[in-house]
Amino acid sequence: MKYLSGVIAALAMIFLSACPSWAKLDVVASFSILGDMVEQVAGDKATVTTIVGPDADAHLYAPTTGDAVAVSEADLVIVNGLGFETWSAKLIDASGTDAAIAVATTGITPLLVEGEIDPHAWNALSNAIIYVDNIEAALSAASPEDAAIFKQNADAYRAQLDRLHRRALADIASLPADSRIVVTAHDAFGYLADAYGLTFLAPQGIDTEAEPSAKELAKLIGFLNETGAGALFVENIANSDLITQISRETGLQIGGRLYSDALSVRGSPATSYLAMFTHNLELIINTLAASK
Ligand SMILES: [Zn+2]
C-alpha cells in the first residue's frame, strides 16, 4: 500500500509539473505570418494557435473569448510588437495568463512613416531572420530540453530566408531605376521598399483604419498621371475600392493581389511566409518589367 501510494504520488508529480518533457509547448502567435514562422522553428515540439488568421486584418481585430482562453492556457505568447497588435496588451492582461510573452521584432530598427512607427517589419527578409532569432530564443527558454532541435530548425529556415533575400536583391537590382514605383492599398511595404530599392505609394497610411481624404487621393492620382507608376496592386486584407478608383482614373491596370499583413487560405499562393514573399516578389517584378 505504501509502495502504491508512492507510485501514485510520483505519477501525480509528473502530471502536475508545468511542462513535462513528453508534452508539447502551447504557443500562441498573434497573426498568421508569425504563426507560420513559429511553426517552422518549433517543428513538432509545439502546438501553435494563431489569433488573427489568413486573409484577416490584424489592425482592426477584436479578440474573442476563445482567444482569451487560448492565451490563458499558453506556455508562450509571441507578438509582432511595434504597435501592430493594438489589442494584444489588453487581451493578455484580461486572460490572466502566466505565459512568457515574446516580441518578435526585438532588435529591429523600426522605420518611421510621418513620425509613426511602421509595424510591417516582416516585409523585409533581413528582418524575418531577426524574427526567427527571437522565436528560437523564446522557444528555447520555454523548453530548454528542445533547444538543439529549435536551433536546427531555425538554422535551416534562416538559410532559406537568406537565399530568398539574395534573390530579391538581385532581381530588383535588374529593374531599371525609373520603373520601380508600385501602388498598393495601404502602406504595408515600407520595409520591402527600403531593403530592396523600390518606391511604394498608398492612398491609406500604415494602418487600415483611416480613409484618405478626397484631396490626398486626388494628389496621388495627379502624381501617377504625371509620372506613371509601373504597377498597381490590390491586397488580401485591404478594401480594393480605392485601387479600383485609381485604376479607373489613371488607366493603370491592376497587376494582381499582394499579400501584405496575412497569409492566404489553403489553395491560394501565400500559405506560408516564404510562399507569400516569393509570390509578392515575382508579381511585383513581372508587372514592373512588363510595364516598360
Ligand atoms: Zn498593415
Cα(187) to ligand 1 centroid in Å equals 7
How far is residue 164's CA from residue 172's CA, in Å, rounded to a whole number?
A: 12
Q: Take residue 3 and report the three cell numbers written for it.
A: 509502495
pLDDT of residue 22: 61
The torsion angles phi and psi of 255, rounded to 5 degrees, stand at -80, -10
Using N-to-C axis directions, what is the helix angle for 88-95 and 65-73, rounded to 10°?
A: 70
Cα(231) to ligand 1 centroid in Å equals 19
Domains annotated on the chain, with CATH: 13-166 (3.40.50.1980), 168-291 (3.40.50.1980)
The torsion angles phi and psi of 274, rounded to 5 degrees, stand at -65, -40
Q: Take residue 9 and report the three cell numbers written for it.
A: 504520488
**Terminal alpha carbon distance of the chain:** 86
Cα(85) to ligand 1 centroid in Å equals 10
pLDDT of residue 210: 78
Cα(245) to ligand 1 centroid in Å equals 20
Cα(208) to ligand 1 centroid in Å equals 6
How far is residue 67's CA from residue 95's CA, in Å, rounded to a whole number?
A: 9
pLDDT of residue 6: 53
Pairing label, strands 111-113, 116-118: antiparallel
pLDDT of residue 17: 47
Cα(119) to ligand 1 centroid in Å equals 7
Helix (H) or strand (E) holding 48: strand 46-52
pLDDT of residue 20: 53
Cα(262) to ligand 1 centroid in Å equals 9
Cα(23) to ligand 1 centroid in Å equals 35
Cα(1) to ligand 1 centroid in Å equals 63
Helix (H) or strand (E) holding 49: strand 46-52
pLDDT of residue 114: 87
Cα(261) to ligand 1 centroid in Å equals 5
pLDDT of residue 86: 96
Cα(207) to ligand 1 centroid in Å equals 5
pLDDT of residue 3: 53
Q: Which residue has the cell 493578455?
A: 92
C-alpha dihedral (142, 72, 20, 152), degrees to nearest 10: -30
Q: Judging by beta carbons within 10 Å of its beta carbon (0-12, 13-18, 19+), is residue 3 exposed, middle or buried?
A: exposed
Q: Where are the beta strands (DSSP E) in 104-142?
A: 111-113, 116-118
Q: What is the mean pLDDT of each run of 10 residues along the chain (292 residues)?
A: 51 48 87 98 98 95 98 98 97 98 98 94 98 98 98 98 98 91 93 95 85 89 86 91 93 94 93 98 94 76
Instruction: Check: CB of residue 233 under 8 Å from CB of residue 283.
Output: yes
Cα(58) to ligand 1 centroid in Å equals 8
Cα(264) to ligand 1 centroid in Å equals 15
pLDDT of residue 14: 45
Cα(188) to ligand 1 centroid in Å equals 5
Instruction: Check: CB of residue 175 under 8 Å from CB of residue 96.
Output: no
Cα(38) to ligand 1 centroid in Å equals 20
